[in-house]
A = this chain, B = another copy of it.
Amino acid sequence: MSERHQSPAPVKARVAAIEQALEERGFPVAESIKEFTTLAEEKWIPENGARVVARAWTDQAFKQRLLENGRAAVAELDLAMPVHHRHLVVLENTPTLHNVIVCTQCSCTAFSIIGLPPDWYKDFEYRARVVRQSRTVLREMGLDLAPHIDIKVWDTTADTRYMVLPVQPPHTVGWSEQELAKLVSKESMIGVARL
């Protein structure tokens, strides 16, 4: 029973403890935190994926390359993925097909492309439910898909990574790549929103 469990030290104290321990052993802790902060705030951002989507909407040949080999195609836009993400699978939505991404066992994502995962993506509710109750969960999250739209759920169970290629809103045909990229949200590339 819980009352027979020990209470942990506050989590901030635990983080500080291991920080100090590693620092004392010569690990570049401060530099790593600084570097990671830059990556998290400036590099691993959904604007990357948005550029990929906008390019795919405006360049059919690029879109074909993207669907065939996502990792190679995003490199054309100077976007990198960690070495252990050996494969980027781009999932094209259509008027009758909707793709949505999850990682049921942990919280894997193509974070260098679509941005680090938001809090709800890492929560147990999303991880547990979206594979089994996809339409219901999407509806609860504000995406009420018409019955004729089929759903594909992608569980990130290996180091292959996924991103959703949303359907281009019809009224945006002819817009510039830069303008289009501004439309594309992280949510739409995870697949919990359509644009």
A residues at B contact (CB < 8 Å): 1, 4, 119, 122-123
Min C-beta distance of A105 to chain B, whole Å = 17
Within 8 Å by CB of A123, from B1, B119, B122, B123, lies B1
Residues in B whose Cβ lies below 8 Å from that of A4 = 119
- In the complex, residue of chain B having the shortest beta-carbon distance to the beta carbon of A3: B11
The complex places the Cα of A4 from the Cα of B120 at a distance, in Å, of 11
Q: Once the chains are docked, how many angstroms separate the CA of A1 from the CA of B118? A: 11
Residues of chain B contacted by A122 (CB below 8 angstroms): 1
Task: Return chain B residues, CB-CB under 8 Å to A1.
Answer: 119, 122-123
CB nearest neighbor in B for A11? B3
A94 to chain B, nearest CB (A): 34
CB distance from A7 to the nearest CB of B (A): 13
A101–chain B nearest beta-carbon distance, Å: 20
A46 → chain B closest CB, angstroms: 21
CB distance from A2 to the nearest CB of B (A): 10
Give the distance in Å from the alpha carbon of A123 to the alpha carbon of B4 in the complex. Answer: 11
CB distance from A8 to the nearest CB of B (A): 12
Shortest Cβ distance from A123 into B: residue = B1
Which 4 pairs across A and B sit closest by C-beta, in order of nearness? A1-B119, A1-B123, A1-B122, A4-B119
CA gap between A119 and B123 in the complex, in Å = 31
A158 to B18 Cα, complex, angstroms: 49
The closest CB in chain B to the CB of A124 belongs to: B1
